[in-house]
A = this chain, B = another copy of it.
Amino acid sequence: MKKVTILLVTLFMCSITFAQQALWGGEPIVSPEIHDDNTVTFRLRSPKAVKVEITGDFLAPQKVETDFGTFDVPGTAQLKEGANGVWEYTTPEPLASELYSYTFIVDGQRMNDPANVDMIRDVASITNIFIIPGNPGDLYSVKDIPHGTVARRWYDSPTLKEQRRITIYTPPGYENSKETYPVFYLLHGSGGDEEAWIALGRTAQILDNLIAQGKAKPMIVVMPNGHTQNVAAPTESFRQYKPAMGGGPREAVASMEDSFGDIIKFVESNYRVKKDKANRAIAGLSMGGMHSAAISAQYPNTFNYIGVFSAPPIASMMARNDSERAKYAEEFVKKLEVQKKNGYKLYWIACGDTDFLYQGVIDSMKKMDEIGFNYTYRESGEGHIWKNWRIYLSEFAPMLFK
């Protein structure tokens, strides 16, 4: 064996036996390359490929027909093969500031960009990401400012009769102060878990940045797992993960709504928090938005701030027909009457104008109008996507606890 010259190089090479081949020789591939004018070039070395495409949310969406309706999915673009089997695609226009996700499709097979270390997991899929600086991209970026702490913990749920995993953001300075803090419960959608808001929602970055800019109050953000048939994200569970797909009986001991008291109790006995309605907020996206509406109605004197993102506040997730739906709505409106009587400071509903739930949101607000239930409505462009949920979080957090 040849004598090593620089031990460090060797050590590194030995620990990356799975990493990209570029490290073993050949030109390093730069991908994505964000140019000064904010056009972006993507590159993939794939000498044997016949067709290389890219799909991502920076491309115009395509319509997909399914049994459940028509949905927007990210569009695709073709890469062109150049020298040495390196395929390339450059966006024809500069991209607006945003956090974008993408994957390559090589001869029909999805794969990540081996040249890009920035990846996030969305339940069962991993995509590469990149951020175009500016507004709102800077809000989603790690900056050289004071940082909060993100803890993954387990709490005991007597209602669900098991331990469950939970993600908790404490603001910068929490550990070295004697202050008590307000609490914001932030719930994921049906396709997520207790990692969703931190990974895809960029909660820690958004809160760190808003707090540093003096735009949001220092607060604790609590991100539980909203699927009560599971105890944790797929990779973190002590028993087999039960996918949410398929609907039907979810085989959970109790619902998110019925077991939510366990979470509040855990947080209020384990963190230095202000334990009153004025210092509790709850919001969520999609299924988590319905959870937020339902939980704040079920505990009608507990939250002063309610956020319902991309979801109708009045919607049963389990009703199977129109009569069940109507009955649920009727009972829910009665709960809203109580919530209205008790009072709250902000009921914030946000939805994209192409969201497949848009009409449901409009219908819910009509019912709320009928009983004079106050809310603030924020309509954005586009649909049921993380881009909107990051924007909603960035707008909602600054309104809390003021």
Q: Which of A's residues lie within 8 Å of B, judged by CB?
A: 1-2, 4-20, 23-24, 46-50, 55, 66-74, 101, 103, 106-112, 114, 117-127, 141-144, 146-147, 149-154, 162-163, 165, 175-176, 189-192, 232, 234-239, 241, 244-248, 270, 286-287, 315-320, 356-357, 383-384
**Given the interface contacts A117-B234, A153-B149, does A109 sit within 8 Å of B106 by beta carbon?**
yes
Give the distance in Å from the alpha carbon of A67 to the alpha carbon of B192 in the complex.
Answer: 45
**Given the interface contacts A108-B48, A151-B151, does A71 sit within 8 Å of B13 by beta carbon?**
yes
Give the distance in Å from the alpha carbon of A163 to the alpha carbon of B234 in the complex.
Answer: 32
- Cβ of B106 and Cβ of A106 under 8 Å apart? yes
A163 CB, min distance to chain B CBs, angstroms: 7
Give the distance in Å from the alpha carbon of A174 to the alpha carbon of B198 in the complex.
Answer: 24
- Cβ of B144 and Cβ of A163 under 8 Å apart? yes
Which residues in B have their C-beta under 8 angstroms from that of A234? Answer: 117-118
Which residues in B have their C-beta under 8 angstroms from that of A8? Answer: 190, 244, 247, 287, 317-318
Which residues in B have their C-beta under 8 angstroms from that of A147? Answer: 153-154, 163, 165
Of the listed residues A7, A110, A117, A143, the one surrounded by the most CB atoms of chain B closer than 10 A to its CB is A7
Tell me whether chain A's interface is mostly helix, strand or loop, or mixed: loop
- Cβ of A10 and Cβ of B68 under 8 Å apart? yes
Which 5 A-B pairs have CB atoms at the shortest separation, nearest pair first?
Answer: A15-B191, A6-B247, A117-B234, A111-B111, A11-B190
Partner of A24, one of B66, B118, B146, B287: B66
A sample of 19 cross-chain residue pairs with beta-carbon separation below 8 angstroms, ordered by A number, consists of: A1-B69, A1-B356, A7-B317, A10-B356, A11-B317, A14-B356, A15-B190, A15-B191, A16-B191, A18-B74, A18-B125, A18-B127, A19-B122, A106-B111, A114-B125, A118-B235, A142-B236, A149-B154, A151-B152
